[in-house]
Amino acid sequence: MPRRRRSKYTAEGEAALAEIEAYQRSWVVIPMVEHFEEEGLVVLKAPKFQNRVGKGMVNLMRKDQEFNLYLDEFGSRAWHLYDGRRTVGQIADQMAEGTDDEPNLALARLVMHLRSLKSGGLVRVVTLEKSAKNVK
């Protein structure tokens, strides 16, 4: 039976993944919308449109500018931790403590959650260095 060769890129790939994870752990999340709680879960007041044309059409039709976005348990717990001071790594560690998840799994889930919120303009994600400059 032939012996499998080890890839010379394995160590480089693992180093690259560790670097990406370290970069993601240094992000800081800043909430951009208001929220309220309903039955213990967070409900975000999300804007229907981000551009002026969409906002103008909503005004013209005399409709609400916002809609309610209901978060699940994970999202609600995470939303309460977004304060513009904690890093994503610290939030992932706290999220992992409350469940049986590993910190890496909680980080991956949190990053996916943040990407969806960021695409809707509900949060702003900056690096720790940029958030420190804005605080001063």
3-state secondary structure of 29: strand
Dist. CA 129–CA 46, nearest whole Å? 28
Q: What is the pLDDT of residue 18?
A: 76
- Using one digit for the tens of pLDDT, what is the confidence trace for 31-75? 988 889 999 899 998 876 666 776 666 666 776 676 788 999 999
Domain boundaries, the chain: 29-135
Read off the DSSP letter of residue 6.
Answer: P
- Using one digit for the tens of pLDDT, what is the confidence trace for 69-121? 899 999 999 999 998 888 888 998 888 886 777 777 888 888 899 998 998 88
3-state secondary structure of 25: helix
Contacts of 59 (CB under 8 A, 6+ apart): 65
- Specify whether domain 29-135 bears CATH 1.10.10: yes
Q: What is the pLDDT of residue 19?
A: 78
Q: What is the pLDDT of residue 80?
A: 93
Task: Answer yes or no: are the C-beta atoms of 74 and 95 closer than 8 Å.
Answer: yes
